[in-house]
Structure 1
Amino acid sequence: MDVKHHQSFLLPDRTYANIVKRDITRIAESYGFSPAEVGRVNIVVSEMVSNLQKHTTQGGEILIKQLDKTGIEIICLDNGPGMADAIRTMEDGYSSVGTAGEGLGAIKRQSHEFDIFSQLGAGTILLSRMFKGHYKPSPMPKSRYEVAAVMVPKPGEFACGDNYAMLERGNDCYLIALDGLGHGPNAQEASTEAANAFLSQPSQDPAAVLRHIHGSIRRTRGSVGTVAHISLGKKQISFCGVGNIAGKIFSVEGPYLTNALSRNIMAYNGILGHNVPSSFSTQIDTWNNSKLLVLHSDGLKSRWDISKYTNLHRRDASIIAALLYRDFCRQTDDTLVLVARSKA
């Protein structure tokens, strides 16, 4: 799996708009998008930037990354007033600020995949994915799982020391979330080697996988990591972690992901590649299609709460990860938020 981190573009005010649009155009061109496809990307980014200018006084942030060399993902984040009826605002001609009212509808039309989360008092998150060539959505889902991540380097860095990997085999999904020690290229090297070691034998017991990684990355500066294995056949999730990768397993209750029905993902002290406990073991919990797994590095604040966001679990997994990044990122380190769930 070719993991790419997101590039972050901050728009504190309208003076940054042209710079951001120019830089994202160059990125789309570097991904091999045709001139017509670059034009579609320009429309999406222009409408996102326009929305930020119209509806927020604090500006916002745009995240962009390549999707396995076939497409591009663009996420727009703001902490504006939010919307009571996001679906209605996508209708052409509807506007809350007296304009032509074409923004969200234009973004959706230009996107191959689109999603939105907005709530009064909780801002708005827009997700757009566009693919090269003649894109045709599959009539049947190819995967039993939906896994997405928002991964952003420390401000001022180009390399990201956080990493993740995922492998799906039939009814089983194998995941790892990683944080290389420190940040920058050396941290990226450590977490990349750990991800490769994981992919070489992911189907072992999570604790055994971590022991294998520990022995495989001794020449690096080291990494922390948590391994999870979700099995629909066994209706269970097994997991084990070393270091400060944290997270939760949520169960949905009505329109909310509630802390009351969550289980914390706890990890053992240590650093893979340097020092780990003499003994550590895998933990097991039940799993079904109403569960949601969140794993994150310490770039996210340790105390976060998503119980106030109505129907967030119904949104794309990238939206969930992006919301956690937007509202709880420390902005002092690399940040990874990994979200996984199974599908019926």
Structure 2
Amino acid sequence: MDVNQHYRFVVPDRSYASLTKKDITRLAESFALPEGAVGKVNIIVSEMLSNLEKHTTHGGELLVKAIGKPIYGIEIICLDNGPGMSDPGRMLEDGVSTFGSAGEGLGAIQRQSDVFDIYSLPQVGTVILAQVYKSNRSIPPVRRYDIGNIMVPKPKEIDCGDGYAVIHHERGAYLLALDGLGHGTHAQEAAQLAVKTYCDKPIPDPALALQVIHTSIRRTRGAVGFAANIDLSQNKFSYCGIGNIAGKLYSTESPLGNMPYKNVISYNGILGHNIPGTFNNQHLDWNRNKILIVHSDGLKSRWDLSRYPNLSRHLPTTIAAVLYKDHSRQTDDTLVLVCKAKP
């Protein structure tokens, strides 16, 4: 299970580039990545920073996290609100440039990455995702869904008060998303205790799982939370939420581009302090056309996936990163958790 938070590196102009590269290199080394993988990270970060310098007027930011527990890789995401690209696929070709340079930057990032994705819209900006793995990483099992996330602490904070868990089972997955009250260390303590409780003894029933979490975190600041069970054998998605964890379940089969969705509905309350006397699970259909997006209130609520052409075809982490880039409040911890069914 991977529950690591992202480290945020804001790069408003070129003067931050050298220090940012050094900090990310040290981070990669602290993840015990081999020398070859660290070398790949250096190239990726250098090219990302170069692109920010060349193509944006206000810079951007890089998000970095360790992948897995135990760690088997590193994830680097570059975000900007620059001019964007109408044809990012063509920009990946060596020699193609809108800046007059050699045009090898994006291609170099792709070649050095074990996983690569890019999403860009003119006048909206660009998200670049790169993952580099240790050479001895075991091949993960093939599943009928993909899960990705962005989890970032409040600006100028170190500890993130949001939390999540993903537990794979023989019929699908159990999901948990949490937002510890407030932010910082005490919020993180509440969220992480809730995650530990959930993972130590997974409970298929989402409402019951939240009841158990409520009891276990009574001595903490408390949290709001969302638990779900995706059962592929029954094509069913069951969930329960307490507090202001929001989300939408999209259906991507619409040929017109306007993807229909259903809002995730939560009960009022705070886990660990006060919850309704009675609360029940909600049940929705799950099939190969579904995308579930759940987030803490660090993300603004007025967003719509339909406004991003073809974004639903990209990796879940890329989807989460685009929403974070455009809709983060920047006044709180932010969690965006995306589960995407495979067609």
Q: Do these two structures clear the TM 0.5 threshold for a shared fold by scoring above it?
A: yes
Q: Displacement of 1:304 after TM fit?
A: 1.6
| Matched residue, 1:206 | 206
TM-score by length of 1: 0.95
Letter in 1 for 2:120: S
Q: Displacement of 1:203 after TM fit?
A: 3.5
| Mapped pair 1:90 → 2:92 | yes
Counterparts of 2:114 and 2:137, CA distance in 1 = 8
| Matched residue, 1:318 | 317
| Matched residue, 1:297 | 296
Residue deviations 1:70-126, cap 9 Å, x none? 100000001111111111111111111111000000000100110111122221110
- Aligned-pair identity (%): 54
For the 8 Å contact 1:94–1:102, the answer to whether it is kept is yes
Q: Any idea what SS the aligned residue of 1:332 has?
A: coil
Cα pair distance change 1:136/1:102, threshold 3 Å:
farther
Counterparts of 1:159 and 1:254, CA distance in 2 = 42
| Matched residue, 1:327 | 326
| Matched residue, 1:80 | 82
Letter in 1 for 2:267: Y
For the 8 Å contact 2:186–2:221, the answer to whether it is kept is yes
Letter in 2 for 1:207: A
| Matched residue, 2:165 | 165
| Mapped pair 1:102 → 2:104 | yes
Note the aligned Cα RMSD (angstroms). Answer: 1.4
| Mapped pair 1:266 → 2:268 | no
For the 8 Å contact 2:305–2:312, the answer to whether it is kept is no
Q: Any idea what SS the aligned residue of 1:51 has?
A: helix
Q: Displacement of 1:135 after TM fit?
A: 5.3
| Mapped pair 1:340 → 2:339 | yes
For the 8 Å contact 2:176–2:228, the answer to whether it is kept is yes
Letter in 1 for 2:166: M
Residue deviations 1:30-84, cap 9 Å, x none? 1112333211111000000001111111211100000011100000001111111
- Counterpart mapping for 1:144-159 below 5 A: 144-159=144-159
Q: Displacement of 1:134 after TM fit?
A: 4.4
Cα pair distance change 1:275/1:135, threshold 3 Å:
closer
Counterparts of 1:49 and 1:255, CA distance in 2 = 37
- Counterpart mapping for 1:1-344 below 5 A: 1-68=1-68, 69-134=71-136, 142-252=142-252, 253-254=254-255, 256=257, 258=259, 261-344=260-343
Residue deviations 1:220-261, cap 9 Å, x none? 111110111111111111111001100000011237463xx1
Q: Displacement of 1:2 after TM fit?
A: 4.3
Cα pair distance change 1:175/1:135, threshold 3 Å:
closer
For the 8 Å contact 1:256–1:313, the answer to whether it is kept is no
Residue deviations 1:293-322, cap 9 Å, x none? 000001011212222211101101000000
Q: Displacement of 1:136 after TM fit?
A: 7.4
Q: Any idea what SS the aligned residue of 2:96 has?
A: coil
Counterparts of 1:107 and 1:172, CA distance in 2 = 33
Equivalent pairs counted in the alignment come to: 340
Cα pair distance change 1:43/1:304, threshold 3 Å:
same
For the 8 Å contact 2:228–2:239, the answer to whether it is kept is yes
Which stretch has the larger CA shift, 71-80 or 248-257? Answer: 248-257
Which stretch has the larger CA shift, 43-52 or 126-135? Answer: 126-135
Counterparts of 2:297 and 2:220, CA distance in 1 = 20
Q: Which runs of 5+ in 2 are unaligned?
A: none
Counterparts of 2:29 and 2:173, CA distance in 1 = 34
For the 8 Å contact 1:250–1:257, the answer to whether it is kept is no
Letter in 2 for 1:182: G
Which stretch has the larger CA shift, 298-307 or 108-117? Answer: 298-307
Q: Any idea what SS the aligned residue of 1:75 has?
A: strand
Q: Any idea what SS the aligned residue of 1:307 has?
A: helix
Counterparts of 2:198 and 2:113, CA distance in 1 = 34
Counterparts of 1:207 and 1:257, CA distance in 2 = 32
TM-score by length of 2: 0.96
Cα pair distance change 1:74/1:254, threshold 3 Å:
farther
Counterparts of 2:142 and 2:240, CA distance in 1 = 28
